[in-house]
Structure 1
Amino acid sequence: MSSFNSASQEFLVWLSKSGAEVSENLKLQDLREIQAGRGVVAVKDIAEDELLFRIPRSSILSVENSILSKEIPKATFEHLGPWLSLILVMLYEYQNGDASNWAPYFRVLPSEFNTLMFWSREELEELQASAVRSKIGKESTDETFKNELLPVIEECADIFFCGAADAKQRAAAMGQPHNLQLMHKMGTLIMAYAFDVEPAESIKNVDEEGYASEEEDEDLPKGMVPLADMLNADADRNNARLFYEENFLSMKALKPIKAGEEIFNDYGPLPRSDLLRRYGYITDNYAPYDVAELPLDTISRVFQDHNGILDEQKLEYLDEHGVLDSGYDITASEPFALYKSLSPQLIVLAEVLILSDEEFNRLKARGKLPKPDKVTLEGAKLLHEMVKARIAEYATSVEEDTREPVTIPLNDKYVSKERRIAMAKLVRIGEKNILKSVERALAARVQELGATNGTSKRSRQDTEDGASGKKQKR
């Protein structure tokens, strides 16, 4: 038996001893040949609502379940917040090796990652102008680790390193690059695998599709749920869901699953850029959720190039009404519809920026905003220039990117430059396709509105000339 499969078997034995129930109708399978690590696969037909497995809350790797929570003041964890607290606990359990209750679990967790946090500068350049690059935040995260985690580890060195003679020296060494990298790995595991540990009755505010925002998720307690986190996800292939009970977390089938089919969790409608940032992979099934962002910096530059300096009063007014943002999403839509793809806030922003001082003062006096479902000729022109400028910020065109088919290699190592470049290329192609669709639609809208305005002007002029008895020139 390979070390990979041996680790899987040891993990399942540990899980059973911890009180977990796992259905005989599924198995943990090696999916490395399709670059999917470990996955859960049905070995027999599974019925809708059938219990797949049940994990005791005591088996969750969380702050509450770690011995460290009894040794370090509660106020320290409250200060760190859910994210950093779990990183601290995972560092503690990991460095304890076989002495940790979760040692068999750590041995089946990934040690290599394709999330953007671990890409080289050269690899990140392949994403070109994608806004996802600004969301990585490696440098700021390093500073957070140094300013928040390191002082706690140094202050509690004897506790953290279990009374080792060199505890203080080891604590001081946690600021070295390889240990900061270890903190990033723990943070990445949490981002990719952790669940929100909540009571059976959800306390989250969710949208109409049942998803909480990333910001709201940040405030909830985090926990690593063994086995549940080994389910892969692939957009609409979701066929299982985790349910919260008083003493257990239960994974159940959402629909019938045939023998041989993989069991999939759900990450929600993520664009491929965020899927790559958070989970380190992409699939075509997430393409419908792709997003291209139009940054405020690009908007400001284009406006100033064509219209002059931005009016601070207008920006303040937009900010007061929750319209001003650092960037605006332009989304995919199928079939394509301009008003579905353009952010309503972006339309409002453009329409306010083009107002004359007199028009703006009238709008402001009424405390109103332009309607987001109606673009004027001047607004369409401005939006068209903005989108064209955004397209130009990418180093290559869609045509250049698609001269040859782009496929993600499966025969390379999971962590390979070729694999990362292919994923980056697909992400940027998706964003450029959205921008090109919107650019063409806005160009057509400008032409349409221009023709309508021209006809209206000619009609008015004909009426005026006819009423005054003027003879038309031929």
Structure 2
Amino acid sequence: MADFDGAGQAFLSWLQQSGAEISPKIKLEDLRHAQAGRGVVATQDIAEHELLFRIPRSAILSVENSILSKEIPAATFDTLGPWLSLILVMLYEYLNGDASNWAACFSVLPSEFETLMYWTEDELAELQASAVVNKIGKESANEMFLEQLIPVIKEFAHVFFADDDRAPQKAEEMRDERNLTLMHRMGSLIMAYAFDVEPSVSHKDVDEEGYASEDEDEALPKGMVPLADMLNADADRNNARLFYEADSLDMKALKPIRAGDEIYNDYGPLPRSDLLRRYGYITDNYAQYDVVEVSMDLVTDLATTASIYSEARIEYLDEKEVIDTGYDITVSDPFTLQESLSPELVVLVETLLLPDEEFEHLKMKGKLPKPERMTSKGTEFLHRLVQTRLAQYASSLDDDVRDFTGIPNVGGHGSKERRFAMAKAVRIGEKRLLKQVEDALAEKVAREGGASKRPRDVDEEGDVEMGGTGKRQRA
């Protein structure tokens, strides 16, 4: 406890020496009893918009602020991209120990994680058919470290291990399992705690009317923002937000906060599966964002079995940006099929089901079926698809719900009981969503009396109703 508290006090002292302003109404709190590590708690009532703390930009652990950026060409960092660049800088600063300006920050950041990257095979198996298992990316991260990061460390070994006669050997040793694990640790810290740091001065081109150009593919540099990374998050309990100013990053209250309340940041609308993957915990407050992914491979297999798969139609849909590796089924409140089913998935199914003449007519006009106008055949196919997706899980929803007793707050790092419970909560949420959609589709099929009873809607020109997908962003 003394080391835990001592590291926290040393961190706060470093922050103040770095020019940070911290409200006397907040404090860093030990929340390990709630499996939440450190957190920030109000000690007095706080008003809406009140400043909680102000971190000078110079205190952010970033590529721009690290000495390493002065020793390695900017083009090298550009090649690595924001993610690997920050991992490289954090490795450099961490290996410098007490000589690093951010030594106090590393002392309060976790060295062990509950994220899926660190789960064992039997623990991951408890997630069953959840698509999140395929998003962990440990192998691909290893490839990036070996193929992109370590060559840079070897090229600039005299910089990375300055004043060390064994610099070339140390750079080569970065390939060892121990150092690859250290790289994963830095990557996990970034995934869980880093912010996209908007520059103090925009570098976007401005046209004659004063409008800045928007580049959706332009990746913002990432940085570790001290103290801001200590805030936990819990969906609707979000009561603070980070604001980007010219010389600082300011955390302000979004609403009145009472003395004793924890201060929460916002992770956005993440499904519990991604919350577990990125942050290593879940809460029921994120159940409202749960998602089930239906893979394109599953659609292809079922369409092939039903003899409706067509490469020509897939190519046309690909041109229209309808084809994806997977399609999301999301929670909606109040529940409706239109809100929960991916519109691209509905368009894909309806296009595959079109008679040849109708498809050629659609293609000639460059149109797509309207996702809100599901035909009976489309509804039946989607019903079979959802049933098949639900059957991919190893256990039934009823069995999971009957055996589930909640997520224990006891057990240290790596507790199998806790990890098994979190995995079960994730798969229960996904199965409940699939069952809700399955029941709604079955009801729709019964109500419409089968495929032969439902004619297609025809517009004023005598054409089958077509239109865009009304594309929604995937979670």
Judge conservation of contact 1:345–1:372 (CA < 8 Å) in 2. yes
What TM-score do you get using the length of structure 1 for normalisation?
Answer: 0.91
Judge conservation of contact 2:448–2:454 (CA < 8 Å) in 1. no
How many aligned positions are there?
445
Judge conservation of contact 1:377–1:446 (CA < 8 Å) in 2. yes
Q: What residue is the counterpart of 2:46 in the other structure?
A: 46
- How far, CA to CA, are the matches of 2:386 and 2:328 in structure 1? 12
Q: Against the structure 1 CA distance between its residues 267 and 388, is the aligned structure 2 distance closer, same or farther, given a 3 Å change threshold?
A: same
Counting only pairs closer than 5 Å after superposition, residues 356-395 of structure 1 correspond to structure 2 as 356-395=355-394
Counting only pairs closer than 5 Å after superposition, residues 59-138 of structure 1 correspond to structure 2 as 59-138=59-138
Q: Against the structure 1 CA distance between its residues 201 and 237, is the aligned structure 2 distance closer, same or farther, given a 3 Å change threshold?
A: farther
Q: Kindly provide the amino acid, as one letter, of the partner of residue 306 in structure 2.
A: H
Judge conservation of contact 1:199–1:245 (CA < 8 Å) in 2. no
Instruction: Kindly indicate whether residue 342 of structure 2 is the aligned counterpart of residue 343 of structure 1.
Output: yes
- How far, CA to CA, are the matches of 1:240 and 1:155 in structure 2? 43
1:107 alignment partner, SS class: helix
Q: What residue is the counterpart of 2:255 in the other structure?
A: 255
Q: What residue is the counterpart of 1:210 in the other structure?
A: none
Cα deviation digits, residues 291-325 of structure 1 (max 9, x gap): 011111111111112225x2101000111111111
Q: Against the structure 1 CA distance between its residues 108 and 165, is the aligned structure 2 distance closer, same or farther, given a 3 Å change threshold?
A: same
1:329 alignment partner, SS class: strand
- How far, CA to CA, are the matches of 2:223 and 2:159 in structure 1? 22
Cα deviation digits, residues 215-261 of structure 1 (max 9, x gap): 96981100000001100000010000111111111100010000000
Q: Kindly provide the amino acid, as one letter, of the partner of residue 257 in structure 1.
A: I
2:403 alignment partner, SS class: coil
- How far, CA to CA, are the matches of 2:48 and 2:453 in structure 1? 61
- How far, CA to CA, are the matches of 1:202 and 1:268 in structure 2? 24
Q: Against the structure 1 CA distance between its residues 455 and 50, is the aligned structure 2 distance closer, same or farther, given a 3 Å change threshold?
A: closer
- How far, CA to CA, are the matches of 1:248 and 1:145 in structure 2? 32
Q: What residue is the counterpart of 2:440 in the other structure?
A: 441
1:307 alignment partner, SS class: coil
Q: What residue is the counterpart of 2:418 in the other structure?
A: 419
- How far, CA to CA, are the matches of 1:133 and 1:218 in structure 2? 28
Counting only pairs closer than 5 Å after superposition, residues 153-172 of structure 1 correspond to structure 2 as 153-172=153-172
1:385 alignment partner, SS class: helix
- How far, CA to CA, are the matches of 2:237 and 2:387 in structure 1? 35
Q: What residue is the counterpart of 2:307 in the other structure?
A: 307
1:112 alignment partner, SS class: coil
Q: Against the structure 1 CA distance between its residues 369 and 201, is the aligned structure 2 distance closer, same or farther, given a 3 Å change threshold?
A: farther
Q: Kindly provide the amino acid, as one letter, of the partner of residue 439 in structure 2.
A: R
Identity value in percent: 64
Judge conservation of contact 2:200–2:247 (CA < 8 Å) in 1. no
What are the ranges of 5 or more consecutive residues in structure 2 without an aligned counterpart?
205-214, 456-475
Q: Structure 1 residues 161-170 or 341-350, which shifts more? A: 161-170
Measured after TM superposition, the shift of residue 202 of structure 1 is 8.0
2:145 alignment partner, SS class: helix
Measured after TM superposition, the shift of residue 404 of structure 1 is 2.4
Measured after TM superposition, the shift of residue 165 of structure 1 is 1.6
Structure number with greater Rg is 1
Q: What residue is the counterpart of 1:398 in the other structure?
A: 397
Judge conservation of contact 1:376–1:449 (CA < 8 Å) in 2. no
Q: Kindly provide the amino acid, as one letter, of the partner of residue 235 in structure 1.
A: A
Q: Kindly provide the amino acid, as one letter, of the partner of residue 431 in structure 2.
A: K
Judge conservation of contact 1:271–1:287 (CA < 8 Å) in 2. yes
Q: Structure 1 residues 174-183 or 30-39, which shifts more? A: 174-183
- How far, CA to CA, are the matches of 1:414 and 1:134 in structure 2? 23
Cα deviation digits, residues 107-141 of structure 1 (max 9, x gap): 00000101111111111111111111111111111
Q: Kindly provide the amino acid, as one letter, of the partner of residue 46 in structure 2.
A: I
Judge conservation of contact 2:42–2:263 (CA < 8 Å) in 1. yes
Measured after TM superposition, the shift of residue 429 of structure 1 is 0.7
- How far, CA to CA, are the matches of 1:224 and 1:246 in structure 2? 17
Q: Against the structure 1 CA distance between its residues 203 and 369, is the aligned structure 2 distance closer, same or farther, given a 3 Å change threshold?
A: farther
What TM-score do you get using the length of structure 2 for normalisation?
Answer: 0.91
Judge conservation of contact 2:294–2:326 (CA < 8 Å) in 1. yes
1:41 alignment partner, SS class: strand
Q: Kindly provide the amino acid, as one letter, of the partner of residue 378 in structure 2.
A: G
Q: Tell me the C-alpha RMSD between the 2 structures.
A: 1.7
- How far, CA to CA, are the matches of 1:22 and 1:279 in structure 2? 26
Q: Kindly provide the amino acid, as one letter, of the partner of residue 155 in structure 2.
A: E
Q: What residue is the counterpart of 1:209 in the other structure?
A: none
Measured after TM superposition, the shift of residue 335 of structure 1 is 2.2
- How far, CA to CA, are the matches of 2:217 and 2:194 in structure 1? 11
- How far, CA to CA, are the matches of 1:246 and 1:368 in structure 2? 47
What are the ranges of 5 or more consecutive residues in structure 1 without an aligned counterpart?
205-214, 457-474
- How far, CA to CA, are the matches of 1:371 and 1:417 in structure 2? 47
Judge conservation of contact 1:200–1:243 (CA < 8 Å) in 2. no
Q: Against the structure 1 CA distance between its residues 147 and 165, is the aligned structure 2 distance closer, same or farther, given a 3 Å change threshold?
A: same
- How far, CA to CA, are the matches of 1:38 and 1:337 in structure 2? 40
Judge conservation of contact 1:82–1:221 (CA < 8 Å) in 2. yes
- How far, CA to CA, are the matches of 1:152 and 1:434 in structure 2? 46
- How far, CA to CA, are the matches of 2:450 and 2:114 in structure 1? 51
Measured after TM superposition, the shift of residue 276 of structure 1 is 0.8
Q: Against the structure 1 CA distance between its residues 102 and 120, is the aligned structure 2 distance closer, same or farther, given a 3 Å change threshold?
A: same
Judge conservation of contact 1:406–1:425 (CA < 8 Å) in 2. no
Q: Kindly provide the amino acid, as one letter, of the partner of residue 330 in structure 1.
A: I
- How far, CA to CA, are the matches of 2:75 and 2:130 in structure 1? 39
- How far, CA to CA, are the matches of 1:452 and 1:256 in structure 2? 55
Q: What residue is the counterpart of 1:228 in the other structure?
A: 228
2:402 alignment partner, SS class: coil
Q: Kindly provide the amino acid, as one letter, of the partner of residue 257 in structure 2.
A: I
- How far, CA to CA, are the matches of 2:423 and 2:375 in structure 1? 36
- Which consecutive segments of 4 or more residues in structure 1 shift more than 4 A? 200-204, 215-218, 451-456
- How far, CA to CA, are the matches of 1:450 and 1:362 in structure 2? 28
- How far, CA to CA, are the matches of 1:50 and 1:65 in structure 2? 28
